[in-house]
Structures are given as C-alpha cells and as structure tokens.
Structure 1
C-alpha cells in the first residue's frame, strides 16, 4: 500500500503548518548535535553544568546562544528532541503497517539496482556518506532542509528560497551523475 504523493504532500504541509502555528517551525539537524552532547555528557559529566543564569558547557558550540544547546542536553525531553524520536518511531510503525519488509521485496527504486546492483554494503556506504554530507552541510548552514527550506519557505523567508535553490542546484547534477543508467 502506498500513499498518493498529492495526499502525502497535503498531509506534510498540514503537519508543518500545525507545527508552526502550535509550537515552532520544524527543524531537526540541531537534535543530532544534542544527541552527540547527551552521549558526550555521559562520558564527561562536566561537559554541561547548570549555573545561576541557566546552563553552560565547556564546549563553546554547546555554550553558545546563552546555553540553549547545553540546556537541551541537560533536559533532552523537549519538543524538538521528542519530535525526532517520533519521526523514527513513525517510520518504524509505517513499515509495520504496510506489512514489514520481506526478503523478496525490492526496497529501492529500479534505477538504483540498474546502477549499483543489490549489494547491501554499497547501499549502506552510500546512505552513510550521503547522510554525513547532508548533516555536515546542515550544521555548516545553521539548519537543515526541514528548517531552512520547508519551514523557511512556508514562512516566506528569503533564506528559505535561497536554500531551496541551492539544494536543487546541487542535488540535480549529483543525481544525474549517480544515476547514469536508466531502469
């Protein structure tokens, strides 16, 4: 069972709209920094400390914005972190709802198999590398596609439109390079 892309797009737009109206714009890349900080704080309990004025960190990046990141590390059950966990849980539940993944089922588009075959290690390596590059770029830009492009464009932010143009200007040539053979 698949969801029609038009209905999916409308549902996604509704979720983004409701998030902005009820809580705040959606963005998730910062939560990877928060997760790293939670792990680092377990290894080094002196990484994040509470002061009279709030929270701070021995790490300059985590201490910036008046300790906003340090506070999120000390109290991770906030809207943004729970939202990321809910995305993971939602993907898992969606997979279960459509019957799970069978060994015989093709999990990727045919164009992937035409270009790269069915080698799991190659698939994992490309997914990891792609994810690393996107996350690195998101942190370099100060936000991810969810925050800059999706939420930003929905709020008619000029930077959102510029980010979207840059994302597509990079994604189209990369896709053309990666998928030379047609399915």
Structure 2
C-alpha cells in the first residue's frame, strides 16, 4: 500500500527538521567523493595521512577545508557517510516490506515506450546522463541537490531557492521536449 503523499511530505519535513536541529543539514553528494577517496586510499595508502594538525591528502580536493574530507576518508563511520548508507538500506527494506518490486513496475513505462521504444539501455543512459548533469551543476554551485534544494530551502537560503528555480526552469522544458507523445 503506497504512502499518502501528504503524510509522506509531512514525515519527510519532520525528518529534515530533526536532522538540522540535532546534527546538521542534509546533503549527500560529498559522500560519493568520500567513498571514492576510501577506495583510492586502499589502492594508494599514502593518499591520506595524519599529521599533528589533523589529516591531509595528496589530493587537493580531499585536503581542502583543513583536511575535513581527508579525515572523513580516514574515518568513514561519521554521521554523513552512515546517513547515505542508511538511505540505501532503508530504500531496500522499504521495497522488501512492500513485497519487493513487482515485475509490472520493472517494465518499461508506457510513456517512455511511446516516446523512445522498448530499449532498456536508453533509459539507463538517459537516467545516468540526467543525473550526471544535475549533480555536476549542484557541485559546481558548491553543494548537492538535497543540500541546495531541500536543506537550503528549509533554512531559507537564497542559494537553495535559486537552485530550485533553475532546476525546474530546466526540467520542465526538457520534459516537454522529450515526452511529446502521450502514453
């Protein structure tokens, strides 16, 4: 049974409010950089080093912010990294609690089929490319989609409203161009 969107929105708002109040604003894209750093540190143990002043890295991005990212690579069991892992586990558990993902939902949606055919690889390429563009833009603006749009707007940050306006200003015309035929 699906969750009512109004109740879901209220619960999401309460979770975001509690996160900001108790810990810090929610943002996840930096944790993908941390995961890359963890993997790179396994391949090159000299990537992150501990100094008397904290942590540093031979990678300029990991060394910035006073070694904050290098410290997260060295000690990944922090709030932000665990939060991202918990989101993935929570999504999986939620799907399993609903009885798994029915085959009908794994099939190609009628709207996609009407516009692009039955090739599943096209959906994967489109999803990856779209996600890449959005994430690149958000990182270019100094944050991530959830950090800008959700946490940023909740904290009434001007950058959050600008990012959201830009996201919708781009998404609506692109959707109208891509999905010209109805299902």
TM-score range, shorter chain: over 0.9
Q: Which residue pairs with 1:8 in the alignment?
A: 8
Give the Cα–Cα distance (whole angstroms) in 2 for the partners of residues 87 and 133 of structure 1: 22
1:156 paired with 2:156, answer yes
Mind listing any 5+ residue stretches in structure 1 that lack a counterpart? none
SS in 1 for 2:134: helix
- Provide TM-score, normalisation by structure 1: 0.93
CA contact (8 A) 2:138 2:148 kept: no
Q: What is residue 41 of structure 1 aligned with on the other side?
A: 41
Residues 11-56 of structure 1: CA deviation (Å, up to 9, x unaligned) = 1111100100111000001111111111111111111110000000
Higher mean C-alpha displacement, 68-77 vs 161-170: 161-170
Q: Name which of structure 1's ranges 123-132 and 71-80 shifts more when overlaid on structure 2.
A: 123-132
The 5 Å alignment of 1:1-183 reads 1-106=1-106, 109-183=109-183
Distance (whole Å) between structure 2 residues aligned to residue 79 and residue 57 of structure 1: 21
Residues 63/6 of structure 1: CA separation in 2 closer, same or farther (3 Å cut): same
Q: Show structure 2 runs of 5+ residues with no match.
A: none
Q: Tell me the distance in 2 between the aligned counterparts of 1:23 and 1:107.
A: 40
Offset at residue 128 of structure 1 (A)? 1.6
Q: What is the CA-CA distance between 1:126 and the residue it aligns to?
A: 1.4
- Tell me the distance in 2 between the aligned counterparts of 1:58 and 1:143: 23
* Cα distance change of structure 1 residues 105 and 145 upon mapping to structure 2, 3 Å threshold: closer
Of residues 107-116 and 8-17 in structure 1, the stretch that sits farther from structure 2 once superposed is 107-116
Q: What are the Cα deviations for residues 141-171 of structure 1, in whole angstroms up to 9, with x where unaligned?
A: 1111211111111111111111111111111
SS in structure 2 of the partner of residue 35 of structure 1: helix
Does 25-34 or 93-102 show the bigger shift?
Answer: 93-102
CA distance in 2, matches of 1:99, 1:118: 26
